Amino acid sequence: MEQVCAVVLAAGDGKRMHSARPKVLCEVLFSPMICWIADSLAECGIEDVCAVLGAGADQVRAAVPHFSWVEQKQRLGTGHAVMQAKAFLQQHLGGNCVVLYGDAPFVDAATLRNAYEEHIRQKAAVTLITAVLEDPTGYGRVIRDGEAVAKIVEQADADERTLQVREINAGAYWFSVDFLLQALDRLQPNNAQGEYYLTDVIGIAAAEGLRVCGYQAKNPQVAMGANDRKGLLRLNELARQAQLAYHLEQGVEIVCADGVIIAPGVTIGQDTVLLPGTILKGKTTIGKHCVIGPNTVIEDSVIGDGCRINACQIEQSELEENVKIGPFTHVRPNSRLKAGVKIGNFVEVKNSVVGEKTAVAHLTYVGDSDVGKNVNFGCGTVTVNFDGHGKYRTVIGDGCFIGCNSNLIAPVTIGDDSYIAAGSTITDEVPADALAIARARQVVKPGWAKARRLRLGPRKK
C-alpha cells in the first residue's frame, strides 16, 4: 500500500457505556477496542495514523502511543470528527486514507487490504466496507443503486422500508484524500440527531457521479461495534468463541467451555486440556499435554510441556516441563519454577527461582529467593524478605530440608544438603551439611497443671 494513512475516530466519551473511561478503552478479551484497531493497521503496514480524541485523551494516547492525534473539543458527529484531522489529511494529498471507528474493533487486516485493492482497481472516490447482519438495528443502512452505493441512512433517519435493509455500514472506509477534504466542507447537520455525519460524504460522492464502491466483508462480524455494555458483551462473546474455535482446531481439548477465555496471541500445545474457568491472557505460551484449570488465571507467562496447574494464579513467570502446582498457588511476577517442581496449597512464590524437583507442599511464602534442586519445604516456611525499608534475598542450596514453621530472615544463605529444625528463626548463614536449630529449648514442669487446678478450681467453659 503506497501513500496511505489512517484516521481513527475515538472521541466518544463512553456515556452509553456508563463508564469513566473513554469508550474506545473498553476492552474486548482484555484489550482496549482501539488496540485491536491499532493491531490491524500495523498488520497492514499502515504507520501514519491520526486519532481524533475527546475526553480522556491522555488515557487513549497511553494505549496507542505511536498514533499522532488531534482533539475534538465538541462532539458534533463523525463528519465533524474527521474535520478535526484536516491538517493531517492535507499532508497526504494525492493519497488514500482509511477512516475507522474506534468502537468497531473487528475490522481485520485482510478486509482492509481487500477493500483497498477494490478501491484502487475501481478508481473509487470512496470504498465503504459493508456487512449483511441478521439484526441490523442501530447501524447505518447501505442503500444501493445497482452495484454502486447511493447513500447511507442512519437508523434514526430511516423510514420503515429502509429499516428492512440488512446491509449495513461497518464504519470503515477508504477515501481519496483530495475528495474527502472537499466533501467535508459541504457536510450539513440536517438530520434527526443534528450531527455532521461522515456517512453523508457517500451521498455527496454518488450525487456528483463519482465512483462509490461498497466492499461487502465476507465475515459479517468485522462490522460489529459496541455502543453500550450489552454490545460490548456481545463482542467479547464473539471474540471468545472465535478463539475457542481456533484452539480446538489446533488440537487443544476443552471439556466444557464455561468461563474459558483465551486472549488473542496466546499459544497452546496439542492435547493440552483446559478446564472451566481458565483465563489465559497477555503474551502466554502453554506447552503440550498440560492440564490447566479449573479456575486458573495465567498472564504473560510461559508454561512447559506436561504441567498440571489446578486453581492457580500465575503472572509474568516461567514454569518448565512437568511442574505441578495447586490447588491455590499464587506465582507472582519474575518467578521461574524449574522442571518437576511441585507446589501445593496456599503457597506464594514471588521473584524467585525454584530448582528442579523441589517441593513446596503447603502454606509457604517464597519471595526474593534462589532455591536449589531437590529441596523440601516443610509446611509454613516463610522467607522473611522485607524489613520495612528494603527487600533481601534468601539463598537455599541443593538438597536442603527446611523444617515446618521456619522463618528464614533475609539476607541469609542456607548451604547444600543442610537441615533447618522445625520452628527455627534463621538469621545467620548455615553451612553445607549442617543442622541449624534456632529456637528456645523446651521446659517441662511436671504437675504444674494439676497444682493450678487444685488452687483455682476447674477451667471456665
What is the set of active-site residues? 362
* Nearest alpha carbon to residue 173 among 152, 155, 191: 152
Indicate the DSSP class of residue 336: E
- Cell numbers found for residue 52: 481524533
Q: Does 56 bind ligand UD1 (CB under 6 A)?
A: no
Q: Does 167 bind ligand UD1 (CB under 6 A)?
A: no
Q: Does 225 bind ligand UD1 (CB under 6 A)?
A: yes
Residues 15-44 that bind ligand UD1 (CB under 6 A): 23-24
Residues 409-448 that bind ligand UD1 (CB under 6 A): none
Q: Does 128 bind ligand UD1 (CB under 6 A)?
A: no
Which C-beta is closer to ligand UD1: that of 23 or that of 342?
23
Which C-beta is closer to ligand UD1: that of 44 or that of 152?
152
Residues 73-102 that bind ligand UD1 (CB under 6 A): 75-78, 80-81, 101-102
Which C-beta is closer to Ca ion: that of 23 or that of 338?
23
Number of residues that bind ligand UD1 (CB under 6 A): 30
Q: Supply the minimum distance, in Å, between the C-beta of residue 120 and ligand UD1.
A: 24
Which C-beta is closer to ligand UD1: that of 74 or that of 442?
74
221 binds, among ligand UD1, Ca ion, none (CB under 5 to 8 A by kind): none
Binding to ligand UD1 by CB under 6 A, coded x per residue (else -) over 247-276, reads ------------------------------
Residue nearest to ligand UD1 (CB): 140
Of the residues 5, 6, 7, 12, which one makes contact with ligand UD1 according to CB under 6 A: 12
Which C-beta is closer to ligand UD1: that of 82 or that of 371?
82
Q: Supply the minimum distance, in Å, between the C-beta of residue 103 and Ca ion.
A: 4
Which C-beta is closer to ligand UD1: that of 87 or that of 444?
87
Dihedral sign of CA atoms 220, 222, 223, 228 in order: positive
Q: Does 152 bind ligand UD1 (CB under 6 A)?
A: yes
Of the residues 4, 5, 6, 11, which one makes contact with ligand UD1 according to CB under 6 A: 11
Q: Supply the minimum distance, in Å, between the C-beta of residue 110 and ligand UD1.
A: 19
- Cell numbers found for residue 421: 529444625
Neighbours of 27 (CB within 10 A): 16
Of the residues 28, 38, 99, 104, which one makes contact with ligand UD1 according to CB under 6 A: 104
Non-local CB neighbours of 377 within 8 Å, separated by 6+ positions: 358, 359, 360, 361, 364, 366, 402
Residues near Ca ion, by CB under 5 A: 103, 225, 227
Neighbours of 379 (CB within 10 A): 17
Residues in contact with ligand UD1 by the rule CB under 6 A: 9-12, 23-24, 52, 72, 75-78, 80-81, 101-104, 139-140, 152, 154, 168-169, 171, 197-199, 225, 227
